Amino acid sequence: MSRYSEILTVGKNKCHSLVFDFSKLDNVDTYFANYRIPTEEKMVVYAYSSRFSSLSMEGNGTIITDQAIYIHPSHEDWAPSNRIPLSDICNYLVYRENDRDMVRLLSDKRECRILGRTVAPNDTTAEELVELLRALQQSLIRGNSEDKQHYEETLNWALSYVQKGFRETGVLEGKYEEILSIIEKNPVYTTNALLLKAENAYRKCDDIFYENFLSGMEGALPRETIAVLRHPEKMFFKAFIRDIADVNADSMTRSLLNPYLNLKAKRQLTLCEAQILCMLCLRMEDMNIFDELFNMILPYLSSDEKWNIRCFAARNRRMRMSGVYEIMLTGNVPGATGLHFEDDLSLTPLHYALMIRNKELVLRLLSEREWGSGHGPLGRDKLLEIVYDYVFVASVLYEDEEFIKEVFLSTSESARALRRSLTKIQNFIEISERMKMKCKENLRERVAYQSKAFHAGSKEGFENYEKEISVLFHEIVEYDSRLEEYREMKDEMERELRDMLRGEIDDARSRASVIDEALHPFTEHIMRIFREPDALLAELADTMLDYRLYCYKEIYFLAPSYIKLKLPYYEWENGVIKERGITDFCEEGERDGVTFENPSEKARRAEEERNAREQQRQRERQRSRSAQSHNSTISDNTYHWFSEAALSDITILKHEYRLLVKKYHPDASKDSSTTDVLRAIMDERAEILEQM
């Protein structure tokens, strides 16, 4: 018997689901063949998680021999990956993400599943298999320094693995939490593991949860460390902000939903919490709260903090538009949500389609929604507004006048009234032509009937049809006249439209010359992106890692690092600020102890006040009806003038009583009829006080 067999069978009496006695199994030779087990090895343990297993065929469990673990039946090609030597077991972590999860082995080389999950509530096979393999590891570690070294190297790698996953997801989830609980049991890594757990607790953005976590760490961590953790912002804030700002980590948006909701629920926010909530609002696309909160904290932020938040906002918008751009490159129209995206330069999918120079795609986009004329982010800057106009962009990029006409008709404010008139005229023409054709059909029919009446010798019938034919001739002439008028009107409108379009094109191209001559850094940058066929692709590709964030008035936009504009900027390289080129630097305001009212709390309070006013109006309507019917007698504990809250809270009762007296006092209302109402209010108040 090998040393592995001795260790594995020590605790077999505690295992009720694992099979150690192979005399109970039929066709053991079949297992050797199906699992490709060498004949010189001996089966020690068979783990099979019953008919409820996701691997439900007989023989689909895990077999442990005196030399190796065999994961599942395999053909010859799978045999090497199906076998894990027991001599390598200390190179793996054995874990399950939860009580219903499958058994997993993880190393720096591979991650594999060695037993399928089960839905049977009483099946303990997976749990027993994990305990058995962990016991094997611990026994080997105690008895062999080389195995101990391998296991500690595995734990060291696993800690880095968890840290990497933590940065990618924002908070610890699933397997990372379970792996960390294994790592912290080793004294060498206990402190590092617990500090990572503390950072994760901080990222919950729940003060009570964090305090409870620290209370549970008493004795597990040195007092000095606990004292430092009492001020988690100093240790964890910057890393949290940096991780949130990773626009490439899509899974983080989902995993950070709870911290976002926790911060939104707080009444007051510290400056650090406000910055975190701003970043989370950008991830969750909650721009209403972001705009209000960012403006509140702006005077207290350092220059780096301001630009970091602006940078994430710009990168987030650009990343969303990159997805739209990739869809449009294939000639497809983005979904309804994507049609309303704008990038950091406030360019829309229609701008992108024009720059891609795909006419068919542009026409399809024009039919998807109302685009307006194309407005820039600064309405006061007329020169900048021109650059965003769709007709301007089309006129600069295309020579096809018919194509520009389609853009003009769909987006230009000045063309909309003319377009509607043209549509109506065309409808009138089509209706008149149909009516004229109907008259002609009736005319042919009446002529045929008249001919029959003539041959039948019916003078009266002949004369009647003659009258109808005359009327139809007159109607046809009228329709011809009307059609001629409509067509003349249509020709006139089309001439007007062509003149208007030609004027727009000429005006756009002359303005483009003016913009070029002005040498304004921002408009020059946009015009370069418009005109150079590969500029848009370069903008999106070359701002992935290294980029500059430029500022023009309230616009913050990205550009590749090699684009040099005479504007304030910050330059990033691999997520770290590399260079600052700003002229508007100013020191932040006093920060110590400053707090901010949560905008979501203000919104909740406003909603509560609206509801309270509505309830008050309803009560007043009820009181008015009660006063008019002179039924102000209070009986059976039914109260008409005071709210339910006032029945149990004397402060609310006093407040409502003062409001009612102010409203219904005869001196205030100038109406003597309110005396009875005031008396009823006083009687009701007295009865409520007695009930209290």
Contacts 24+ apart (CB under 8 A), 221-228: 221/191, 221/194, 225/191, 225/195
- Does residue 516 contact residue 451 with C-beta atoms inside 8 Å? no
- Does residue 390 contact residue 373 with C-beta atoms inside 8 Å? yes
Q: How confident is the model at residue 57 (pLDDT cuts 50, 70, 90)?
A: very low
For residue 597 the two structure tokens come to: 């009212």
- The H or E element spanning position 605 is helix 599-628
- Does residue 559 contact residue 228 with C-beta atoms inside 8 Å? no
Most confident range (mean pLDDT) of 96-105, 351-360, 500-509 is 351-360
Query: Which pLDDT belongs to residue 621?
Result: 73
What average pLDDT is seen over the chain? 85
Locate all alpha helices (DSSP H) within 401-458, ordered by sequence. 401-411, 413-456
Starting from the edge strand earliest in sequence, which strands make up the sheet with 546-552, in order?
A: 555-560, 546-552, 569-573, 576-581
pLDDT at 385 exceeding the cut of 90: no
- Does residue 82 contact residue 71 with C-beta atoms inside 8 Å? yes
The length of the chain in residues reads 692
**β-bridge pairing 93-95 and 83-85:** unpaired
Q: How far apart are CA 341 and CA 19, in angstroms?
A: 59
Query: Which pLDDT belongs to residue 68?
Result: 92
* CB neighbour burial string for 197-221, b if at least 16 within 10 angstroms, e if fewer: bbbbbbbebbeeebeebeeebeeeb
Identify the weakest region by mean pLDDT among 100-104, 152-156, 253-257, 592-596: 592-596
CATH number for region 3-143: 2.30.29
Q: How far apart are CA 121 and CA 141, in angstroms?
A: 33
For residue 634 the two structure tokens come to: 């209070």
CA angle 299, 301, 304 (to 5 degrees): 135
- Over range 9-28, report the average pLDDT: 81
Domain boundaries, the chain: 3-143, 176-300, 414-517, 598-691
- Does residue 282 contact residue 312 with C-beta atoms inside 8 Å? yes
Query: Which pLDDT belongs to residue 549?
Result: 95
Q: How far apart are CA 207 and CA 270, in angstroms?
A: 12
Q: How confident is the model at residue 530 (pLDDT cuts 50, 70, 90)?
A: very high
pLDDT in tens, 425-467: 888 888 888 988 988 888 888 888 888 887 787 877 788 878 8
Domains 3-143 and 414-517 share a fold: no
Q: How far apart are CA 485 and CA 478, in angstroms?
A: 11
- Choosing among 1.10.10, 3.40.50, 1.10.8, 1.10.287, the CATH entry for 414-517 is 1.10.287
Q: How far apart are CA 603 and CA 599, in angstroms?
A: 6
Locate all alpha helices (DSSP H) within 144-231, ordered by sequence. 145-169, 175-183, 190-202, 207-216, 223-229
Identify the weakest region by mean pLDDT among 113-122, 367-376, 563-572: 113-122
DSSP state of 537: H
Query: Which pLDDT belongs to residue 119?
Result: 55
Identify the weakest region by mean pLDDT among 275-279, 299-303, 635-639, 673-677: 635-639
Question: What backbone torsions phi and psi does residue 604 show, to the nearest 5 degrees?
Answer: -65, -40
Query: Which pLDDT belongs to residue 649?
Result: 78
DSSP assignment string, 473-542: HHHHHHHHHHHHHHHHHHHHHHHHHHHHHHHHHHHHHHHHHHHHHHT-HHHHHHHHHHHSTTHHHHHHHT
